[in-house]
Structure 1
Amino acid sequence: MTSQTLFSEPVQLRVSRPATSDLTRRFFFLVDAIARDHEPTATQLDRLASSYESTAQFLANRDEFEGLLLKIHPHGSRQLGTMVRPSRSTHDGFDVDLIALLSADARRRYMSSSGPALLLNDFYRALKDYADSHSLSIRRWERCVTLGYTDGMCADITPVIDDPLLSAPYGQTHALIPDRELMRYDSTNPLGYAKHFNQAAAIPPAFRGQLVMAKAMDSAERAEVVPLAEADEVFSRLLCRFVQLLKLHRNSRFSASEDLKGLAPTSVFVTTLAAMAYTQLAPLEHDSPLDLLLHMVKTMPGLFPRTRLTNGAEEWNLPNPSAPKENLASSMNRTGRHEAFDGWITVLTKDLEKLLKAVEQNLGNDVLVSIIDTAFGTRSANALQAALSKVRDSNRSAGRVSIVTAAASSRILPARAHSFYGD
């Protein structure tokens, strides 16, 4: 492929900085090409939904949980819409986090000093019978049990006990989760966290010239426009796409060895910081989504306190917005993780600056693909290359020129419904 770009006019025709609408349109094509390749398909998610509904029914019929199991629901990236394919090479499926929510009545059985261990033992024993009857693999962890399906998808199912805390934000869905030593219970609130994230994601971003673009597009003379997600749909998911890009860059950066993987910042830490930064910065005008993302990344390291201890080390604290007693940075307070996070932010900033320059200056598809390969991994680069080739081939077969001029704009359409972003 030549270095001619599908995003705008050739470099020699560019006489000024591209309009906000053009930069936004290019970003949407870029991020959709990458992110969609790392998401589970609707078929995979439908199959998983059927599986965990079956699991819920099985558990509800067990004597251990008779009258106690309220529901099984997704949480984490499945609930938020920020899921990406895991970086591990052991399987090519997706990891989905599920919560088995027990009623407050379960506290009578599981609140003794040995209660957390008893809860996980009962839970594992029941799921072992389910796994054996459905030919699934099963593994017990500190807080959850993992079921492995034949297509490579894994479901991490965590038991929690309903424990409303009405004095706290989102407290009506507060719950208790066994701590990692199974000696007590910790505070948790997956449904409340999802509500907090969704409130952040609902903030409309402000981009320069956005209203002008909407008013002018019907009268604009268009060249062939590359396929895009509908604008309203993409805007409503912008924070989700940002988090996906951050996680993909993290996975690429820390995938070289098992030691490096152990230093990678946790998904909940990255996701929470991204939501905080987006909440602050989205209302401010930016030139494009990529410009906003770069600003967010530069802001994220300053959004939580770093306390200097007497031994010279730092302790980080990031309260869970839906369960304030939980420190989402606790797992970051391990040897080497502070330096790894700060180093990752530095590299990520440089990569996004290169990407922003390439998009703004129309440096060509080859340059874009090369930057994506370095920053987000070969799979992401291949996904972008395939998307670009598809547009090029489609335009060739129709006898069209494979460019999109700055005059072309995206049409504002009603958002399509999603079936895979949780409750």
Structure 2
Amino acid sequence: MLSPPISRTPLLSANPSLDYLLAQVAEAVQLTTTQYTKATEHYEAVARWLEADDSLLAKLSPRIYPQGSMALETTVKPRGEVEYDLDLVCQMSHSPGSAMDLYSAVYERLAAHQTYRTMLSKKKRCVRLEYQGEFHLDIIPAIQDPFRGTTSLLVPDRELRGWTPSNPKGFASWFKSKAALRLVEKTARYDAEPLPALRDYDEKPPLAISVQLMKRARDIIFDGDDNAPRSILLSTLAGHHYQGRTCTLTSTFEILYGIQEQIRSASPNTIEVSNPTNPDERFSDSLTRERYTTLKEFTRHLTSELTKLLDARGLDTYQSSLESIFGVKPVATAFEKYGQLLNSRRNTRTLTYSPTGLNIITPTTSPRVPKNTYFGN
């Protein structure tokens, strides 16, 4: 059963050890280097096929770029046997006709490939390539929105049999501006923009880490339930309520409290959440009554569980609390790396004591932990 709401805002003291552990949990749940490499190879191969000179799409000047968690650097490995997804936009200079004509053109080009035709399926707004046992690649046909311009798009919707608004590139830019971080530009072959490189915890902004932690906690709680909060909804709300903190735990608390306050302010109505760079793209339209209830319960529950960390004392208690939120494997990986770092800092005499425990970052006022020589007293 999910926890009741928390009415107090916890006062956080600097605890670099806990922040390090949270960041390592986030790193442990993102795509592995092997998964990322495979995704990149498939992404580039599909892009080359769609953009080739002999392609049916060549006259439409397709441009390929990633969207979603890969673009935001907030990937989270699915639990169990569930495949992860990689989204890419195939933006054309114009449509050969109606929205359905554009959708069909992309589908037919992929169906012309001997391998891809056996992997194809049609979805509401994308064409899906299923890489069995690995992931699925969702390819979203699009053209520029002639009224909004810039990066705003119109995307075919098979249920509406018409156009629907979107702006994934604008959203990614907005999210990264909130995180005060920009992608490193790389030279791309063809017109396919590269996937953002995997980065270590100390290179990733707290906003991205907080989103990864929220998504992982959601997956643990709801375990594939269709009513679980959508990733795009969590990412948007997180971007709105992120206050620029460098502490991951503080950032996550502020995001969760911001969401809860937004929900309270909107009551008895539901909150409205749109793409900040294209208000016509309304993410909250997918919030059924059941999904709205789970969003409220999720933010309260995660706030409650994280609050327990503030009262925890000792690494064993930390580990138990973190496992209940994020699962056993990623937490075990985080503690293994933490142990390695402690040994390294101890040996170089850069490990210190503080009221919150052992510090992996050395304040000048904290007493140093002596190097362990293993030779007795």
TM-score (norm: length of structure 2): 0.77
CA separation of 1:189/1:410 partners in 2, compared to 1, >3 Å: closer, same or farther? farther
Matched, 1:331 2:286: yes
CA-based RMSD of the aligned residues comes to: 3.2
Matched, 1:174 2:152: yes
CA separation of 1:139/1:90 partners in 2, compared to 1, >3 Å: closer, same or farther? farther
Match of 1:251 among 203, 219, 242: 219
Equivalences, count = 330
**Counterpart residue identity of residue 32, structure 1:** A
CA separation of 1:41/1:408 partners in 2, compared to 1, >3 Å: closer, same or farther? closer
Mapped partners of 1:409, 1:19: distance in 2: 14
CA separation of 1:66/1:297 partners in 2, compared to 1, >3 Å: closer, same or farther? same
Mapped partners of 2:117, 2:275: distance in 1: 37
**Counterpart residue identity of residue 27, structure 1:** L
Matched, 1:384 2:334: yes
In the alignment, is the contact (CA less than 8 A) between 2:210 and 2:252 conserved in 1? yes
Give the secondary structure class of the aligned counterpart of 1:100.
strand
- 1:406-421 equivalent positions in 2, closer than 5 A: 406=354, 409=361
The Cα of 1:399 is off from its aligned counterpart by: 7.1
Compare relative contact order (CA 8 Å, sep 6+) and give the higher one, 1 or 2: 1
CA separation of 1:134/1:65 partners in 2, compared to 1, >3 Å: closer, same or farther? closer
Mapped partners of 1:294, 1:322: distance in 2: 25
CA separation of 1:99/1:366 partners in 2, compared to 1, >3 Å: closer, same or farther? same
The Cα of 1:274 is off from its aligned counterpart by: 0.4
Mapped partners of 1:49, 1:70: distance in 2: 18
Residue 111 of structure 2 is matched in structure 1 by 128
Residue 353 of structure 2 is matched in structure 1 by 405
Q: Deviations over 1:202-222 (max 9, x none)?
A: 08xxxxxxxxxxxxxxxxxxx
Residue 189 of structure 1 is matched in structure 2 by 167
CA separation of 1:402/1:367 partners in 2, compared to 1, >3 Å: closer, same or farther? farther
Mapped partners of 2:233, 2:45: distance in 1: 31
**Counterpart residue identity of residue 361, structure 2:** S
Residue 210 of structure 2 is matched in structure 1 by 242
CA separation of 1:137/1:292 partners in 2, compared to 1, >3 Å: closer, same or farther? same
Matched, 1:102 2:54: no
Mapped partners of 2:91, 2:362: distance in 1: 43
The Cα of 1:133 is off from its aligned counterpart by: 2.5
In the alignment, is the contact (CA less than 8 A) between 1:276 and 1:303 conserved in 2? no
Mapped partners of 1:366, 1:138: distance in 2: 48
Percent pairwise identity:
26
Residue 75 of structure 2 is matched in structure 1 by 83
In the alignment, is the contact (CA less than 8 A) between 1:165 and 1:172 conserved in 2? no
In the alignment, is the contact (CA less than 8 A) between 1:372 and 1:380 conserved in 2? no
Residue 320 of structure 1 is matched in structure 2 by 275
Mapped partners of 2:316, 2:267: distance in 1: 45
**Counterpart residue identity of residue 324, structure 1:** P
Matched, 1:58 2:54: no
Match of 1:356 among 279, 292, 310: 310
- 1:163-312 equivalent positions in 2, closer than 5 A: 163-166=145-148, 171-202=149-180, 233-234=203-204, 237-255=205-223, 261-278=225-242, 281-282=243-244, 288-303=247-262, 306=266, 308=268
Matched, 1:146 2:128: yes
The Cα of 1:390 is off from its aligned counterpart by: 4.0
Q: Deviations over 1:245-270 (max 9, x none)?
A: 11011111101xx5xx1110111111
In the alignment, is the contact (CA less than 8 A) between 1:290 and 1:356 conserved in 2? no
Give the secondary structure class of the aligned counterpart of 1:158.
strand
Give the secondary structure class of the aligned counterpart of 1:85.
coil
In the alignment, is the contact (CA less than 8 A) between 1:178 and 1:185 conserved in 2? yes
In the alignment, is the contact (CA less than 8 A) between 1:27 and 1:289 conserved in 2? no
The Cα of 1:289 is off from its aligned counterpart by: 3.4
Give the secondary structure class of the aligned counterpart of 1:352.
helix
Mapped partners of 1:36, 1:64: distance in 2: 40
Mapped partners of 1:375, 1:148: distance in 2: 31
Residue 193 of structure 2 is matched in structure 1 by none
In the alignment, is the contact (CA less than 8 A) between 2:88 and 2:139 conserved in 1? yes
Q: Deviations over 1:206-244 (max 9, x none)?
A: xxxxxxxxxxxxxxxxxxxxxxx685x34xx11100100
Give the secondary structure class of the aligned counterpart of 1:154.
strand
The Cα of 1:123 is off from its aligned counterpart by: 2.1
CA separation of 1:230/1:384 partners in 2, compared to 1, >3 Å: closer, same or farther? closer
Match of 2:38 among 37, 47, 60: 47
In the alignment, is the contact (CA less than 8 A) between 1:94 and 1:153 conserved in 2? yes
The Cα of 1:161 is off from its aligned counterpart by: 1.1
In the alignment, is the contact (CA less than 8 A) between 1:59 and 1:126 conserved in 2? yes
Residue 375 of structure 1 is matched in structure 2 by 325
Which runs of 5 or more structure 1 residues have no equivalent in the other structure?
1-16, 204-228, 309-313, 412-423
